Structure formats: structure tokens, C-alpha cells
Amino acid sequence: MMPSFYDEGMLVAVLTTQPLDRALDYKAPEGGCHLGAFVEVPLGPRKVLGVVWRPGKGDYDYAKVRSVLRVLDAAPMRDEMRAFLEKAAAYTLTPMPAMLRLATRAPGLGDPPSMRKVYRRGPDEPDRMTDARRRVLDFLSEYGDLSFTLKELAELSGVTSSVIKGLVKQGAVAEEDSPRDLPFPPMDPSRPGKALTEDQARAAGHIAQAVQSGAYGTTLLRGVTGSGKTEVYLEAVAACLKAGRQALVLLPEIALTAEFLKRVEERFGARPAEWHSGATMTERRRIWKMVGQGQAQLVIGARSALFLPYQNLGLIVVDEEHDTSYKQEDGVLYNARDMAVLRASMLGAQVVLASATPSLESWANAESGKYTRLDLEARFGPAVMPTMRTIDMRAEKLQSNRWVSEELKRAVEARLEAGEQAMLFLNRRGYAPITLCRACGHQVGCDQCDARMVEHRFLKRLMCHQCGETKPMPTVCPSCEAEDRMAPVGPGVERLGEEAVELFPDARVAVLSSDMYGSARALKAEIEQIAEGGADVIIGTQLVAKGHNFPNLTLVGVIDADLGLQGSDLRAAERTFQLMRQVAGRAGRAEKPGTAMLQTYQPEHPVIRAILAGDEEGFWRAEAAQREAAGVPPYGRMAGIILSGPDVAQVFDAANALARNAGALQRVGAQVFGPAPAPIARIRGRHRVRLLVKAGKGVALQGAIAQWVGQLRLKGDLRLAVDIDPQSFY
């Protein structure tokens, strides 16, 4: 056991967010400090944030050891959180300082609580009573001792703020300073939820009981879109809140939370804490602090919400658990779904993984009995799964630069006549994926990356989807200098939008793509407005496949069902299956039955057939058998190593050196493949080379990889990233 308190002058090892390879010794400050305390320490000429991680090592001249500058006003990091960060770091081979940065993603943690003015009933009476003054005082006495901000009070009592200021001068209203980081309003788990169907009640009861047990467990909650998974896991949240523990719901796409937040508010009578990149800095700090003090009971958030300092977390729901956005692909490479399971297992908490189309990983874990599996078979109420059909594009004669087949066009027209909505789905942002010179064939690429520039007509620029670099659309070919010969090739959602406007001149067409809205908020508002009937034809990227209800949508047309099947990605089949089922699931959510039409050039492809047949178990079994035979995840282990640097020869030299000296891997029976140029061989001017490590399922891969890459001295600007369980190979 480590001592939990350190008196002034005792040595403590402080982990900082700075890129150092170990925690440094400091002397505990005046007044001492707790293990886990958030502190400010001197580092060279700077002051940096750190956490008291363990007792100091004492391997340095005591006289020269510097003191902790101050202990910050925040609850110390709990033992469990420190242990979780260490395990997560060991699993993902991430340096601890980067882990700590993830856990402290809120600004001004060390600042004293910021204050704001609030107003309540004061001791005196005003010299003269007016109608407006009367309203304010009546309102305040109605609420007893509660206080309000100036804006709230003015709005709620229907007066201008000068009326309130006048009352303050007279002592009838008291003006006080109050901390800005207010607790979140309590959730009321005893409010009744919806009356559940038998299926739903069985699933909800099972999970609620697991939550009450206070033990760890993971449940895979599978059910088609609209079957009531959300209703079921909200019951689990209620059970968790009733048990006095905190709950976390992770959602993949924060733009889709508006509808969800409304449901939560209806269910529990208060708004939960909402953690995501779009939240203001003040709000982030408030959530971070209140979560740590147990004064935020329910957090709805993006993946990084997993690293908040919960006081007593009892349940983590990972909604749409198969979603690829749970895998962080830059900075720390972690999969929030897997880290949720890790964190819960260390806490005695429950995990619910909800999906209509689970990842093969989770499916296999349920098969092997590691997870409990619960199924919801039918859609709720009269809604039924959409009818699925393919449109064989080989038989269609499309004009050039047209992508909507005659059959799909007629189907859309029928919906428009019936006053219903139709969606055209294309998983390609922008106007056209290729911009080409018709004189010389030159394709405009990014200067920094080995990637084509994609035209975004809406932004009036070309954009690189790798690095985000943009440039104006050239009028002269950058290669042969021919004038006015640059032409778009292929469809993106914006171009499809143009086609839809021409095909359906009387319809209101809306294009939904994440890059077309200035902010997540604007996008959210737009989705809501469309769901309420603000458009007849919706053109969307995969953004629309996720979670949002469009009650009047009865037709989904997939423009290119083959898109995801191209390429050699290990998960191409799985992803296409999931995405197509998910998109199709958007249709027919309310009383009206839906149809999904898939345009394809390969209707016989086994994946396309599996999608149509809706034989999910069959698909998973076949996919699992193939992966098992190939010894790849989830039946084998993989890690990707990406070396990058500005000098291609240097990058290859280093990669070759690694490949030659793989003794540490061979000793555990792992194999190395490569080096090879990465599929995107250059990003932001850095050349990229990949190595792939494969091993059997039981192999303790991380230790061997750490030892192996540890031999390499990274010279100059060379960088190495390890991706354990890579999800994509780019």
C-alpha cells in the first residue's frame, strides 16, 4: 500500500502532461498533499500540470529536488483512475503523459472557481412599487430561497434587467457572487419509463439486475434499428442512478444527440451533462469538476468522456458499438469500446454494447460466453423492417454524369406524390472525388499527401480529405496549362444533390454532409428540421446512417452499394454489411413501411446477398469462419507500426532495421510483415511506411512490441506510432 498523504518535504513522484519518459520527484508542498492530487510543478522555467502518482524515488540529490508549487482545487485522482490509465497505456502502448493529457482535457483545472452574479430576494422593500417590480418580487418569493442569473430573472419575470438593477439598489433584491461550476440538476430515476414490450422488459430486467449486482459484466444488446434498444438501456441507466452510481452513455456522432437528449430529459426530468468537442471550455471544466465530485450523475458523451474522473461509475453504455469513430485514429490510438470494457472491469461496473449490427469482435465475444447477449427481435409498434431490393446497374443505361437509375427515380417520385420523404445515400463528401484535366489527364492531388483533392463546390475549393488542406479550384491545368479544361469526375453528395434537383424539380432537396455546416450545432438543427419535414429528398453521407429518426422517411436509395467492397481492408465486408443495414434501417420507422433499394454492379456478391437476405447470423458465421481460417482478428492479434518522416530513405532504413531485428517478436511467436509504403504513402509531407505484426490470440503482444520498437533510436524528425488492433489500414 502506498501512503495516501505526504507531509511537507516528503518526496513524491509527479506525472506531468509533458513528454517525459517518467514521473519526476518533487517535494510535497507546505500543508502536504494527497496521493493523486492535481498539482502544479516547476519544469525548467515553466509551470506544468501534474498528478502525484506515487512516492518519490529518491535517486536524486534531495537538496536539489524542487517543491510542488501548489495543489490545485480539484478532487485528487482516484486510485482506480490511476490504475485504469496505466492499464490503458500498457494496452495501447501509449506513453503515460499522453494518457494524462486525455484525462485532463478541460481548461483551467487549477483556476479558482470562477464566479458570476446571482440574484435572490433581499431584506428590504422598494420605496415605490410598480407592476414590473411586483412581478419580480412575486416571482422570487414564489421560489423561496432560489437565486437566478440576471438574464434568467429578467426573462422569467418578464421585465428588463434595469428593473432588477433598480431593486438591487433598494435592497429588495440581493446581488451575490456564486461559483460558475454549478452541480448538474439531479436526475429522477423513479419517473416511469415507457411501458415495455415483453422482449424489451426481459432485456431491461436482465441488465438492471446486473447493474444492481455491483459486479462487472458486459452485455451485447442487439436489435434492429427501432426495436427499442434505447428504451431498454435507459432502464439500465435508471437502475444505476437508483443504486446511487454514475452512468455514462457514449454516442458515436455528437451531431445526433439533440433527439437523444430530449428523450433523456423526458425520462429523468433533467438534462444530463453533455461532453464533446463542441462544448464550451467553461462547460467542459464544469463537467470535469462535477463528475469528479459526483454532482453529474449522467454523462452523454463522445469517446473521450471515458476519461472523465468519475467518482462512482456503475454503467457504461456504448451505443452503436460497431461504429468506427470509437477508434481514435490520431494522438492516442485507443478503441473507446474496448477501453470501456477495461474500465468497467476494474470498477465492478456494467457495460452495455448496443447495436443493430454488432462488430464481429463483440459477436465473437458473445459466442464464446465472454459477453451476455440479449436480442430484441422486432421493431417497436407497427414499424417493420424495410423491404430490401437491389437494382442491377449493369442493366441500366445511365447518361454520363448521372447516378440515379430510372427505377430509383420512379420510386422517389412515388414517395413524393404520397407526401413522404426519400433519402439518397452516398458515402462521399464533396462535389466530385476527382478533378481531372481533359487535355492531359492530370488529376489534381494534394501537395502534402498522396491523395487526390476533392472538389467541394459548396466551399468553392478543392480539399484534401487526409490533411484538410484546401486550394481554389484551378481554371488552368497545373500540369499542361490548358485553360478551362478542368472537369469533375464521379459523384459526391453535392453533385448528387444537383442531379436530384434536376430530377425532382418540385421537391425540396437537402444535402446533409458534416462539412457543409459551420458547427455541430448548426448541423444538429438542420437534421432536426429535416426530420420534422423540412425536406422531401435528403441526400446524405454516412452521417445520416446513424441513429436519427426520420419518421416520414419511407425510401432509402443507396447510390453505390459496392463502394465499401472495394479495397483489401480486412473489415470491408463487415463494414459494408453494417452500413447498408444501418442506412436501410432509416426507412419506415413510424407507421409507414419502408423500402431500401441498393444500386449495385455485383448483385451476386455474397455480401450484397447477405444484406438482402437479412440473414445476420449466417453472415457473421461465414465472416467469422473466414477470419478464423486466416488467423486474423478477432481470432488472431494484429498491430500496425507506422514510421513516418520527411525523408523517405530514412524512413525505409529505420523500418528495414526494425524488420531485421525482430527477435523480441519471434520469441513470442509473432510474425512481422513489411515494410511497405502505407496505402496513403504521404500525409502532410511525411512519408509513411507500415509494418504489420500478426500473432496468435493468446500472445502477450504488447510487451514484445514494446521491447522490439524500443531498440530503435528515433533520429531527427522520424516518428513511430503503434496501433494495437488496427481498425483501418491507411
Quick check: 12 and 26 in contact, CB under 8 A? Answer: yes
448 binds, among Zn ion, ligand ADP, none (CB under 5 to 8 A by kind): Zn ion
Check residue 197 for interaction with ligand ADP (CB under 6 A).
Answer: yes
Report if residue 225 touches ligand ADP, rule: CB under 6 A: yes
Return the amino acid letter for 643.
L
Smallest separation (angstroms) from ligand ADP to the CB of 228:
3
Query: What does 38 interact with, of ligand ADP, Zn ion, none (CB < 5 to 8 A by kind)?
Result: none
- The three cell numbers of residue 5 are 498523504
Q: Report the distance separating Cα 177 and Cα 116, nearest Å.
A: 5
C-beta of 375 vs 569, nearer to ligand ADP = 375
What is the closest distance, in whole angstroms, from the C-beta atom of residue 350 to ligand ADP in the complex?
18
Element (H, E) at 599: strand 595-600
Give kind and range of the element (H or E) at residue 655: helix 648-660
Q: Cell 436526475 sits at which residue?
A: 187
Q: Is residue 586 within 8 Å of residue 545, measured between CB atoms?
A: yes
Q: Which residue has the cell 462535477?
A: 290
* Farthest CA pair distance, the chain: 90
Window 146-185: contact mask with ligand ADP (x via CB under 6 A): ----------------------------------------
Nearer to ligand ADP, 198 or 506 (CB): 198
Residue 94 binding partner per list Zn ion, ligand ADP, none, with a CB distance cut-off of 5 to 8 Å that depends on partner kind: none
Rounded distance between C-alpha atoms, residue 717 and residue 685, angstroms: 12
> Cell numbers at residue 263, please?
428523450
223 binds ligand ADP (CB under 6 A): yes
The residue (of 157 and 227) whose beta carbon lies closer to ligand ADP is: 227
Q: Which does 320 bind (CB under 5 to 8 A by kind): ligand ADP, Zn ion, none?
A: none
Does the protein bind Zn ion through residue 464 (CB under 5 A)? Answer: yes
Q: Which residues pair with 335 in a beta bridge?
A: 327
By CB under 6 A, residue 550 contacts ligand ADP: no
Site string for Zn ion, 401-440 (x = CB under 5 A): ----------------------------------------
Site for Zn ion in 16-75 (CB under 5 A): none
310 contacts ligand ADP (rule: CB under 6 A): no
- Whichever of 227 and 362 has its CB closer to ligand ADP, that residue is 227
Do residues 320 and 252 touch, judged by C-beta distance below 8 A? Answer: yes
Of 623, 631, 632, the closest CA to residue 573 belongs to 623
Q: Which residues 372-391 are close enough to bind ligand ADP by CB under 6 A?
A: 380
Q: How far is the CB of 222 from ligand ADP (least distance, A)?
A: 10
Asked whether position 231 contacts ligand ADP by CB under 6 A, the answer is yes
Among 92, 227, 513, 600, binds ligand ADP (CB under 6 A): 227
Q: Does 467 bind Zn ion (CB under 5 A)?
A: yes
* Cβ proximity to ligand ADP, 200 vs 295, nearer residue: 200
The whole-angstrom separation of Cα 319 and Cα 616 is 19
With CB under 5 to 8 Å by kind, the binding choice for 274 among ligand ADP, Zn ion, none is none
Q: Provide the terminal-to-terminal Cα distance of the chain, rounded to the nearest Å.
A: 45
231 binds, among Zn ion, ligand ADP, none (CB under 5 to 8 A by kind): ligand ADP
Pick the closer one to Zn ion by CB: 449 or 693: 449
- Cβ burial of 69 (10 Å; 0-12, 13-18, 19+) is middle
With CB under 6 A as the contact rule, the residue among 226, 309, 314, 358 that binds ligand ADP is 226
> Running DSSP on this structure, what letter comes out for residue 433?
S
Instruction: Tell the smallest beta-carbon distance from residue 663 to ligand ADP (Å).
Output: 50
**Binding-residue pattern over the window 630 to 669 for ligand ADP, x denoting contact by CB under 6 A:** ----------------------------------------
Question: Which element (helix H / strand E) includes 13?
Answer: strand 11-16
704 phi, psi to nearest 5 deg: -65, -40
Binds 539: which of ligand ADP, Zn ion, none (CB < 5-8 Å by kind): none
The number of angstroms, rounded, from the C-alpha of 506 to the middle of its chain's C-alpha atoms is: 37
The answer for residues whose C-beta is within 8 angstroms of residue 37's C-beta and 6 or more apart is 51, 52, 71, 72, 76, 77
CA 703 to chain centre: 28
Query: Residue 31: which residues within 8 A CB-CB, separation 6 or more?
Result: 8, 71
Complex with ligand ADP: residue 173 or 587, whichever CB lies closer: 587
Which residue number, 223 or 491, has a Cβ lying nearer to ligand ADP? 223
Is residue 200 part of the contact set for ligand ADP (CB under 6 A)?
yes
- Give CA–CA dist 557/542, Å, rounded: 13
Plot region of 124 (φ>0 → left; ψ -120 to 50 → alpha; else → beta): beta
Minimum distance from CB of 229 to ligand ADP (Å)? 3
Q: Binding residue for ligand ADP (CB under 6 A) from 105, 194, 592, 605? A: 194
Q: Find the binder of Zn ion among 74, 153, 366, 446 (CB under 5 A).
A: 446
**C-beta of 402 vs 471, nearer to Zn ion:** 471
Q: What sign for the dihedral angle of Cα 92, 97, 101, 104?
A: positive
Considering beta carbons, is residue 355 or 727 the nearer one to ligand ADP?
355
CB of 287 to ligand ADP, least distance (A): 25
Q: Using CA of residue 564, residue 570, residue 573, residue 577, what is the dihedral sign?
A: negative
Among 27, 82, 229, 289, interactor with ligand ADP by CB under 6 A: 229
Stretch that binds Zn ion, among 279-287, 463-471, 568-576, 708-716 (CB under 5 A): 463-471
Per-residue b/e over 247-285, b at no fewer than 16 CB within 10 Å? bbbbbbbbbbbbebeeebeebbeeebbbbbebbeeebbb
Q: Binds 226, which of Zn ion, ligand ADP, none (CB < 5 to 8 A, cut-off by type)?
A: ligand ADP
* DSSP codes joined into one string, 694-722: EEETT--HHHHHHHHHHT----TT-EEEE
CA atoms of 263 and 457, how far apart (whole Å)? 36
Residue 466 binding target from Zn ion, ligand ADP, none, CB below 5 to 8 Å by type? Zn ion
Q: How far is the CB of 488 from Zn ion (least distance, A)?
A: 19
* Minimum CB distance to ligand ADP smaller for 197 or for 650: 197
Does 219 contact ligand ADP by CB under 6 A? no
Which residue among 20, 98, 156, 196 contacts ligand ADP (CB under 6 A)?
196
- The distance of closest approach from Cβ of residue 5 to Zn ion in the complex, given in angstroms and rounded to an integer, is 52
> Which of 68, 333, 449, 608: binder of Zn ion (CB under 5 A)?
449
**Closer CB to ligand ADP, residue 409 or residue 592?**
592
In a 3-state reduction of DSSP, which class is residue 225? coil
29 vs 272, which CB is nearer to ligand ADP?
Answer: 272
DSSP state letters, 64-128: GPPBP-EE-SSPPPPHHHHHHHHHHHHHHT--HHHHHHHHT-STTTTSPPPEEEEEEE-SS--SS
What residues form DSSP beta bridges with 219? 352, 372
- Report the alpha-carbon distance of residue 226 to residue 590 in Å, rounded: 9
**Dist CA 718 CA 688 (whole Å):** 10
Stretch that binds ligand ADP, among 115-123, 162-170, 195-203, 284-292 (CB under 6 A): 195-203
- Smallest separation, CB 381 to ligand ADP (Å): 6
Least distance to ligand ADP from the beta carbon of 512, Å? 19
Q: Cis omega (within 30 of 0) on the bond before 123?
A: no
Chain residues binding ligand ADP by CB under 6 A are 194-197, 200, 223, 225-231, 380
Chain residues binding Zn ion by CB under 5 A are 446, 448-449, 464, 466-467, 469
